[in-house]
């Protein structure tokens, strides 16, 4: 996801090109000097008087298994989902996993748009891997890019995909949730999106009358668009979702999948910094990024765009929508790239995570196994700075040891065909802390 500061949302809605994720690598963009800033550890003071949103079943804390089944083909982006992913999620005391799946890359192009049986078996395996560990699983249709650019041409196919998925999993426990469409954007504007959601919901409801569904707002699930979501009033089992990546120039600095104006580096959280950012040439010549960087370098904390308040403004929208609609609001993704200076990254992840909890919003870390990695399945452990942010409320505490005794990811990878029996999870290190 990617979004731009609220002020320039409208102006940039066509200019902000969100490309696909891919193997993460350094951007190598040309840039000016600077980039040596370091932030101080952030002490978080939560605001009193906030009414929490309605809980989303028992979901509170989770992780995405990104760049696996949502890649163009499994393994193409360096992630092959494995038992170790689920074991590490459980080990950290999480209660759910969000599973992004590019079903559209594994379905026939023409009617009846049949989903490939072998691929489906892998999704069965993933669902079992979560449910057998008593984790909720959010099954998410991810990276259906053609639907974003040609919504009318792909509508029937999207409906047929959900019909098959819904029928296949109709007898699964309520711990399986369906998220209809990740990060709607481009031509799938709010009006078209609401119309499409209505059809997808009706389709899913034929076989799953009460399963919890999640719908994302427009513009890569920007909080600003939560309010334009319209869902059937009589259906209580629909939650509204947003993704949290603001301030985007901090969270996505240098991300290879972003446009050149996102390729500055040395941006800390919170600002102002003790050294200027290293600005990419494109950031310097693009109005909104130059002006953002100027304010970031000059403004005090109270008006700085890289600030606690900037984060809270996003959450305030979510809290307002939760109160107005009486629905659960879900934060299906948040994250910060590992090019960010580590103290800043920890500050940001902890702040977002704690704000969400304070407001009764279930959170799900975006883990892409690359530059936004949380779990390291090869080492059988969580990345230290991420674990600290997610599991310690205050900065400076010891890194929680979230480690598998025997990771052996290669022997526990998703089966080829047919689905392998579950239960082959690696043994866990019983000494590791969960909370
Ligand atoms: C996208 C990924 C991206 C991530 C963070 C996700 O929603 O699917 O492509 O890496 O957001 O930008």
Give the confidence band of 26 by pLDDT, cuts at 50, 70, 90. very low
- Does residue 259 line the site of ligand 1, with CB under 6 A? no
Instruction: Quote the pTM value.
Output: 0.91
pLDDT at 45: 96
Question: Which has more confidence, 14 or 12?
Answer: 12
Ligand 1: nearest atom to the Cα of 18: 9
- Whether the pLDDT of residue 411 is over 60: the answer is no
Q: Ligand 1 center to residue 257 CA distance, Å?
A: 9
Q: Other C-beta atoms within 10 Å of 254: how many?
A: 25
Residues near 125 by Cβ (< 8 Å), separated by ≥ 6? Answer: 414, 415, 419, 420, 422
Helices (H) and strands (E) in the chain, counts: 13, 10
- Whether the pLDDT of residue 422 is over 90: the answer is no
- Whether the pLDDT of residue 25 is over 80: the answer is no
- Does residue 21 line the site of ligand 1, with CB under 6 A? yes
- Whether the pLDDT of residue 10 is over 50: the answer is no
**Looking at residues 209-232, what average pLDDT do you find?**
98
pLDDT at 400: 86
pLDDT at 32: 57
pLDDT at 300: 97
pLDDT digits over 288-346, tens only? 999 999 999 999 999 999 999 999 999 999 999 999 999 999 999 999 999 999 999 99
Burial (CB count within 10 angstroms: exposed 0-12, middle 13-18, buried 19+), residue 324: exposed
CB 138 within 8 A of CB 98: yes
- Whether the pLDDT of residue 423 is over 60: the answer is no
- Does residue 239 line the site of ligand 1, with CB under 6 A? no
- Does residue 183 line the site of ligand 1, with CB under 6 A? yes
Task: Collapse the DSSP code of 116 into the 3-class scheme (helix H, G, I; strand E, B; otherwise coil) and give the result.
Answer: coil
- Whether the pLDDT of residue 231 is over 60: the answer is yes
- Does residue 1 line the site of ligand 1, with CB under 6 A? yes
pLDDT at 398: 85
Nearest CA to ligand 1 atom 10: 21
**Looking at residues 365-385, what average pLDDT do you find?**
97
- Does residue 368 line the site of ligand 1, with CB under 6 A? yes
pLDDT digits over 248-288, tens only? 999 999 999 999 999 999 999 999 999 999 999 999 999 99
CB 64 within 8 A of CB 331: no
Give the confidence band of 34 by pLDDT, cuts at 50, 70, 90. low
Most confident of 149-158, 395-404, 417-426: 149-158
pLDDT-above-70 percentage for the chain: 85
- Whether the pLDDT of residue 164 is over 60: the answer is yes
Task: Collapse the DSSP code of 63 into the 3-class scheme (helix H, G, I; strand E, B; otherwise coil) and give the result.
Answer: strand
Q: Ligand 1 center to residue 233 CA distance, Å?
A: 30
- Does residue 71 line the site of ligand 1, with CB under 6 A? no
pLDDT at 399: 83
Strands 362-365 and 329-334: parallel
């Amino acid at each position: 996801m990617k979004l731009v500061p609220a002020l320039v949302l409208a102006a940039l809605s066509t200019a902000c090109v969100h490309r696909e994720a891919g193997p993460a690598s350094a951007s190598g963009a040309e840039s000016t000097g600077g980039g040596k800033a370091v932030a101080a550890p952030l002490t978080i003071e939560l605001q009193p008087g906030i009414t929490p949103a309605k809980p989303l079943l028992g979901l509170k804390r989770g992780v995405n298994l990104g760049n696996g089944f949502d890649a163009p083909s499994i393994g193409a982006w360096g992630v092959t989902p494995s038992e170790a992913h689920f074991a590490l999620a459980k080990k950290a005391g999480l209660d759910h996993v969000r599973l992004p799946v590019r079903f559209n890359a594994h379905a026939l192009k023409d009617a009846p748009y049949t989903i490939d049986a072998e691929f489906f078996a892998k999704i069965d395996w993933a669902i079992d891997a979560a449910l057998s560990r008593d984790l909720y699983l959010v099954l998410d249709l991810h990276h259906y890019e053609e639907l974003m650019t040609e919504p009318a041409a792909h509508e029937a196919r999207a409906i047929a995909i959900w019909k098959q998925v819904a029928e296949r999993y109709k007898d699964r426990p309520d711990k399986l949730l369906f998220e209809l469409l990740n990060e709607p954007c481009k031509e799938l504007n709010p009006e078209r999106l609401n119309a499409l959601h209505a059809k997808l919901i009706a389709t899913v409801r034929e076989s799953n009358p009460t399963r919890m569904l999640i719908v994302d707002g427009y513009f890569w699930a920007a909080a600003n668009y939560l309010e334009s979501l319209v869902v059937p009033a009589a259906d209580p089992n629909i939650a509204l979702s947003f993704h949290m990546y603001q301030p985007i120039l901090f969270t996505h600095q240098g991300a290879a999948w972003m446009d050149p104006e996102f390729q500055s580096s040395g941006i800390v959280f919170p600002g102002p910094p003790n050294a200027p950012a290293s600005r990419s040439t494109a950031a310097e010549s693009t109005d909104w990024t130059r002006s953002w960087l100027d304010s970031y370098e000059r403004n005090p904390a109270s008006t700085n765009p890289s600030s606690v308040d900037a984060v809270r403004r996003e959450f305030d929208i979510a809290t307002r929508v939760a109160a107005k609609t009486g629905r659960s609001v879900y934060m299906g993704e948040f994250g910060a790239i590992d090019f960010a200076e580590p103290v800043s990254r920890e500050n940001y992840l902890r702040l977002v995570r704690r704000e969400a909890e304070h407001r009764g919003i279930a959170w799900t870390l975006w883990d892409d196994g690359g530059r936004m990695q949380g779990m390291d399945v090869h080492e059988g452990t969580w990345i230290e700075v991420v674990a600290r942010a997610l599991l310690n409320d205050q900065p400076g505490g010891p890194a929680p040891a979230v480690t598998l005794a025997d990771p052996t990811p290669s022997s526990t990878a998703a089966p080829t065909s047919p689905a392998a029996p579950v239960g082959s999870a690696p043994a866990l290190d019983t000494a590791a802390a969960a909370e």
